[in-house]
Amino acid sequence: MENIIEIKGLHFAYEPDEEGKEPVEVLKGIDLDIKQGEFVAVLGHNGCGKSTLAKHLNAILLPTEGTVTVDGIDTKDADKLFELRQRAGMVFQNPDNQIVSSIVEEDVAFALENLGVPYEEMRRRVDESLRAVGMYEYRMHSPSQLSGGQKQRVAIAGIIAMQPKCIILDEPTAMLDPQGRKEVLATIHRMNREQGITIVLITHYMDEAADCDRVVVMDKGKVVLDNVPEKVFSQVEKLKAIGLDVPQVTELVWELRKAGCDISPEIISEEECVAAIEKLFAD
Amino acid sequence: MLKDITIGQYFPGNSIIHRLDPRFKIVITLIYIIMLFSGGNYICLAVGAAFTFGAILLSRIPVKMFWKSVKPLLPFLVITAVLNLLLMSSGEVLWKWKFLRITEDGLNTSLFMVIRIVLLIMGTSLLTYTTSPITLTDAIERLLSPLRKVKFPVHELAMMMSIALRFIPTLIEETDKIMSAQKARGAEIDTGSFATRAKNLISILVPLFISAFRRADELATAMECRCYHGGEGRTRLRQLKSAPRDYIALAVTVLFLVGVIVLGKLV
């Protein structure tokens, strides 16, 4: 598979607020490749730089040092800015602060209007995107009538309408209730599965990360772990050392192993765990 | 509680007035205002009234809704009437008391003014009652678009208006939350003298403003992420299409205007 995102030696420092102060370095040398169609979770503690990293993927921020390439476009290339943002869409945490229009379908059309897509095609793409996230029945509603999860799905539809190759979601479920979280996650997984869109999911929920193809753990501006969820979550001590929790299942398996049970450390799904424990009892 | 406030007084419906192209509706309303002010006698006013009530009937919005829009302006109407009544000194004196006197002309003028203003309010309310704020914004943007040539920021203004409309419910909800949070900590928002209440209001407005600025910042980033770069080269999902009925409505209005002008000259 081809790499859609290539990050090489990325350093980034925020300009200091006052003169004479040292710039605050948030990203300290990140190398990361993400393949087309992958579903990657980026985990990390608050302030580890994961949101800053996300903002580099569609040129909201530009590297102080190093390069970020998305689908062959260097994010520093100002001429291709809109092309880049069309290919790498971004969904933010607060659904209220990313919906522009008072009517759902017009909000979904916002990006297409900006890109100057002709009416017929816009109409078609808006309807398709709304159906894809299951919000077609609500197309004439006002966003204020929707629940958090529904609003977030509208925001996702607004991105899908651009037909991106990659969607970056910056803690999209952090402000939602459990039902809303479920809806949004199911939608993202379906986009990944059915349309082959690369997903970069920034989160601090371990359970969300457990369902991904690959987990990247960041700490203090660096990538510390990068592997399939099973391998990442089996390193319980390392995760705990940087202040992260592990999914409940992993925690249980880890405690069992500490107590001397013979159980694989790479179990992350509930079903596997139940099966393994049943086997333990049977033995 | 605050959520119940309706901003813009749009009554959704499907009447012929609702379905008129909003651009035409705005132009028709402007012609209507000219019509009301170009006739100088009661007959002209009667024609104007006939036009107003005809349109109201067509809109199928209950007449009492229009009374609602006139009601807040009653004090203003009374003051206008009284001033006209007392200050006009020409014509036959009908009533006199010390330095106050009412003349026939005064009575006529004040009655005339009151009817005219009431009709004006009713007619313009019909526009906002039958057109959603967002459509109205859209129509204004398109009607003003020729001004773009003289560097007037038409698109930017319309964008600001529609974002403001979008965020009204959000900010109302937020105000509600802030008020509840402060009440929970013992703040008395609804009681006390005017001065204390005004002071308490500051403690609501400060967090509200801070949050509004934060929202604005995030919204700007989200808009950039969706390739927003001003009005240039933008296409629109909402298409405004004029139908024959729009031209007919416009023609009827122009006929009424001509009629009123002719009647004003003849009578």
pLDDT in tens, A246-265: 888 888 888 888 888 888 88
Give the chain B residue nearest A119 (alpha carbons): B237
Q: How do beta strands A198-203 and A214-219 pair?
A: unpaired
Residue pair B8/B132 in contact by the 8 Å Cβ criterion? yes
Q: Which pLDDT value is given to residue A215?
A: 93
> B82, B81, B106, B112: which is closest to B92 by C-alpha?
B106
Give the pLDDT mean for A141-153. 91
Query: What is the distance between the alpha carbons of residues B40 and B12, in angstroms, rounded to a whole number?
Result: 36
Q: Which residues of B touch A123 (CB under 8 A)?
A: 237
Tell me: pLDDT of B206 over 90: yes
In sequence order, which ranges of chain B are alpha helices (DSSP H)? 16-19, 22-38, 42-59, 63-70, 74-87, 104-130, 133-144, 154-184, 194-225, 244-266
| Res B6: pLDDT | 47
Chain A positions in Cβ-Cβ contact with residue B163 (cut-off 8 Å): 100
**Which residue out of B7, B156, B227, B238 would a mutagenesis test of the A interface target, given it has the greatest number of A Cβ atoms within 10 Å?**
B227
Q: For residue B244, what pLDDT band results from cuts at 50, 70 and 90? A: very high
DSSP secondary structure of B179-235: HHHHHHTT--SS-S-HHHHHHHHHHHHHHHHHHHHHHHHHHHHHHHHTT---STT--
Of B134, B223, B227, the CB nearest to A103: B134
Residue B189 has pLDDT above 80, yes or no: no
- For A134, other C-beta atoms within 10 Å of its C-beta total 15
Q: Give the rounded percent of residues in chain B with a pLDDT score beyond 70.
A: 97
A37 phi and psi angles, rounded to 5 deg: 90, 0
Structure-token match 């001065």, residue found: B195
d(CA A118, CA B237): 9
Q: What is the pLDDT of residues A202-243, one digit of tens each?
A: 998 888 888 899 999 999 899 999 999 888 888 888 888 888
Mean pLDDT of B241-246: 91
Quick one: tokens of A82?
A: 């809109």
pLDDT of res. B185: 87
CA proximity to A63, closest of A25, A20, A18: A25
Task: Report the side by side order of strands in the sheet with A24-35.
Answer: A24-35, A3-14, A65-70, A73-74
- pLDDT greater than 60 at residue B16: yes
pLDDT in tens, A87-97: 999 999 999 99
Percent above pLDDT 90 for chain B: 42
Q: Rounded mean pLDDT of chain A?
A: 90
- Please work out, in degrees rounded to the nearest 5, the angle formed at the alpha carbon of residue A96 by the alpha carbons of A109 and A36: 60
Q: Which pLDDT value is given to residue B5?
A: 45
Rounded Cα distance, B125 and B116, in Å = 14
**Closest chain B residue to A112, measured at CA:** B235
Average the pLDDT over B60-76 and give the result: 87
Q: pLDDT category, B89, cuts 50, 70, 90? A: confident
pLDDT tens digits for B209-241? 999 999 999 999 999 999 998 888 888 888 888
pLDDT beyond 60 at A152: yes
Evaluate the CA torsion angle B136, B139, B141, B143 in order and state its sign. Answer: negative
What pLDDT band is residue B264 in, cutting at 50, 70 and 90? confident
Percentage, residues of chain A above pLDDT 90: 63
* Chain B residues touching chain A at CB-CB below 8 Å: 133-134, 162-163, 165-166, 169-170, 173, 214-215, 218-219, 221-229, 233-239
**In contact, B20 and B246? CB cutoff 8 Å:** yes
